[in-house]
Amino acid sequence: MSRPRRRLASACIGTVTAGLLATGAALAAPEEEGADSDIAMGAYLDYGPRGVARIPFLSRWLGGKEIRVGHTYLPGDQWAGIEGNVSFLEDWAEWRRARDDRMFVLNVPMQERNEARVPDYQVAQLIRAGADGQYDRHFEKLAERLVALGVPDTVIVLGWEMNGVTYTHRCGPDPENWKAYWKRVVNTMRAVPGQKFKFDFTPNRGTDAIGWTKCYPGDDVVDIVGMDSYDQGPGRTFDDQISQPYGLQQHVDFAKAHGKQLSYPEWGLFRNGDDPQYMRRMLKWIEQHKPLYHTITDYCPHGVWQCKQNPESAKVFRDALTPQKPGPVIPTPVIPTPVIPTPVIPTPVVPTPVVPTPQIPTPEIPTPVVTPPPIVVPSPLVPSPEVPSPVAPSPAEPSPAVPSPAAPTPELPVPVEPSPAVPSPAEPSPVVPSPVGPSPEVSPVGPEVPASPVPSPSPLVPEPEQPGVPSPQIPSQIPSQVPSQVPSPVPVPSPVVPKPQPEKPPVNSTQWCVPLNFGEWLSKLVGKQSVCVKIDWGRDSGFWPF
């Protein structure tokens, strides 16, 4: 929207505008008064020091509402103004530095003679010159000026309302080169050391000369998507302003799709006079969508504080943004309620009998230890046969048997009570064979072996019984069966009478005897035997060796 005779506006009008702008920002939620506390609000009251001076008055008119946004414009008639070579920037920089939560918004033209009604063909030439970098030095100086003033975080509203027909920096004559020109300006200013600028892309609401999305230079060179929206066409009602092409709703949707914050650098009354309904709806829209900031334009015919011709809209704006102060607190008289003591009736305590819980011992079940039985492999008992060793009886020398005379045994009285007779085995007396004189006969071959004499048994002479001693009883029988465990007695061979040995022949006799060996055991039984041969050793026999 054009701003004719902006510099010629009276100080009075500027002051009123600032007050109205401040009030308008506070009215973000008319149905919920004072709900705009979290959104930075301000007003355009004047471009120079008078605009700065009016801010406290607008805040007082709004009941102490804090004005956090200071908004002004650089003159666009010459490049010197666009470079920031103006004194009033120092006043705004001082105001901004006073508090950290304040914001300084600066509208920057992209061409000199910005409001001189330059025709489209010349605008196209200027746009192409800017895209070629011919104006980079002007914007570099502006960035250096703002950094030097201590406001490196200034919000730059560059080439505002570019979709319209008013300003020389408009986009319509050459949209593509205009976007390239915007990029050069942003990159040039960002190249200055110490800068923290935010660049705000702000078209007019509605289509105007060109749809503003066709002029969007790109997300990399845009930080905020703003919109200037006054109470004028296109759109008679506020609902029309929301739903029209490139209207308020499309603005919100576009910023969300590109991940950008919203802003409303200019808004207020214009074509429809005092319009409280518009004022109420616009404040509600701002409260609903929470822009980064908003500033109302407060001079006639747009304002509500410095312009007295819009009283109804001013009232809505003021009531919405004035902080609500709590009224005086009237203490409610407290009437003490009489406390009637309730008698305490002690409840008899009946002791509960304690029934002991029987302790049932848990039986301990021993775990059986199963010892595996030893594996005994029985060895077969192989009976070893007992081989009786032959016992060679030593030849007993024959001794003559001397018979003992039988002596009469006197009869002794037998006791009346004899002791029980315990039989004891009687030892048999050895039989001694009587010697018989051998009568050897010499056989033609050798001496004959005499026959063994048969010994005659000696009669057993019983010994007289002693009184009191029972006679030994000789068992008449020998048990026929002997236990297998008791070895059988070794039979004792009867003594053999040795046979007389033949005489040895003399040396060089004609008899030659060869002894016979029957083994040790048999030789003991039969004696030493030999075979004798008689040989004639005479000289005539043929055997005489000498």
Domain boundaries along the sequence of the chain: 11-321, 500-546
| 359 exposure class (CB count in 10 Å sphere: 0-12, 13-18, 19+) | exposed
Q: Classify 184 as helix, strand or coil.
A: helix
Please give the structure tokens belonging to residue 379: 């060895």
Task: Tell me which of 423 and 127 has the higher pLDDT.
Answer: 127
Q: Residue 268: how many CB atoms within 10 A of its CB?
A: 30
Above 90 in pLDDT, residue 111?
A: yes
Query: Distance of CA 395 to CAs 433, 434, 437, 464, Å?
Result: 12, 14, 18, 33
Average pLDDT in the chain:
75
The DSSP 8-state label assigned to residue 502 in this structure reads P
Instruction: Please report the pLDDT score of residue 14 as a whole number.
Output: 44
CA distance 7 to 367: 111
The DSSP 8-state label assigned to residue 217 in this structure reads -
Above 80 in pLDDT, residue 5?
A: no
Compute the average pLDDT of residues 4-14: 40
Compute the average pLDDT of residues 418-442: 42
Percent of the chain predicted with pLDDT > 70: 58
Helix, strand counts (H, E) of the chain: 12, 11
Compute the average pLDDT of residues 516-545: 65
CA distance 107 to 54: 19
Above 90 in pLDDT, residue 285?
A: yes
Q: Which of 189-193, 250-254, 359-363, 389-393 has the lowest mean pLDDT?
A: 389-393
Instruction: Please report the pLDDT score of residue 466 as a whole number.
Output: 44
The single residue listed with the structure tokens 């201590």 is 150
Sign of the Cα pseudo-torsion (130, 136, 138, 142, in order): positive
Burial 428-438 (b: 16+ CB within 10 A, else e): eeeebbeeeee
CA distance 53 to 11: 11
Query: In which band, very low, low, confident or very high, does the pLDDT at 339 lie, cut at 50, 70 and 90?
Result: confident
Q: What is the largest CA-CA distance in the chain?
A: 207
Instruction: Please tell us whether the domain made up of 11-321 is placed in CATH 3.40.50.620.
Output: no
Is the distance from CB of 130 to CB of 137 less than 8 angstroms? no
The single residue listed with the structure tokens 């019983």 is 462
Could you tell me the pTM of the whole model?
0.57
Q: Residue 6: how many CB atoms within 10 A of its CB?
A: 15
Task: Provide CB contacts within 8 A for 91, sequence distance 6+.
Answer: 48, 49, 52
The stretches of 62-135 forming alpha helices (DSSP H) are 79-82, 88-98, 120-131
Above 90 in pLDDT, residue 178?
A: yes
E strand or H helix that includes residue 297:
strand 293-297
Instruction: Please report the pLDDT score of residue 498 as a whole number.
Output: 57
Compute the average pLDDT of residues 289-293: 98
